[in-house]
Amino acid sequence: MAARFVSVGSYTVALGCRSVRTLVFEGKPSEHRARDVVIQISAFIECRGVDDDPDDAGHRVHVYFLRPESDLPEPYYAEEARAATIYVPEAHYPWYRDLLRHEQEVYASLFSDKPFRNCLCTGSDVIGLGDTSIR
């Protein structure tokens, strides 16, 4: 029952429609079973934990942007492998891109016992500050 909050230090974007064979983990974290599924993605973003923090280094979070005809697999977080997935509709791609481009602090909230709660989030911002640095 691990919950982890990883500071995102860098990310990579891959664009283009393709079919990807991936492992989907099912069952309780202590009894994970993997099965192959094929998903239709239009893009993915790989977020990496900051390298200078030993607790965050090595973490990889893949956010897959799925085409409408694709199945929606269950996300996962494997703490020992420091690997997680988030699956969202391709229409959400601009939101994630803007979050990573414009926020100074981005974190991955990862839950091995409730992976449907895996998400990216921001650090604290002052209310009403606006985007004064983006002009």
Backbone angles phi, psi at 64, to 5 degrees: -100, 130
Which of 38, 22, 43, 48 shows the shortest CA–CA distance to 95? 43
* pLDDT over 50 (residue 133): no
- Of residues 1 and 68, which shows the higher confidence score? 68
> Above 80 in pLDDT, residue 26?
no
CA 64, distance to chain mean position in Å, is 8
The predicted-structure confidence for 76-130, as pLDDT tens digits, reads as follows 888 888 899 999 999 999 999 999 998 888 999 999 888 899 999 987 666 655 5
Neighbours of 90 (CB within 10 A): 17
Residue 39: predicted pLDDT: 79
Q: What does the DSSP assignment read for 93-115?
A: HHHHHHHHHH-S-EEEEEESS-G
At residue 27, the pLDDT reads 54
Length of the chain: 135
Q: State the average pLDDT for the chain.
A: 81
**Residue 18 confidence class, pLDDT cut points 50, 70, 90:** confident
* Whether this model's pTM surpasses 0.85: no
Tell me the C-alpha distance between 112 and 116, whole Å: 9
For residues 37 and 133, which has the higher predicted lDDT (pLDDT)?
A: 37
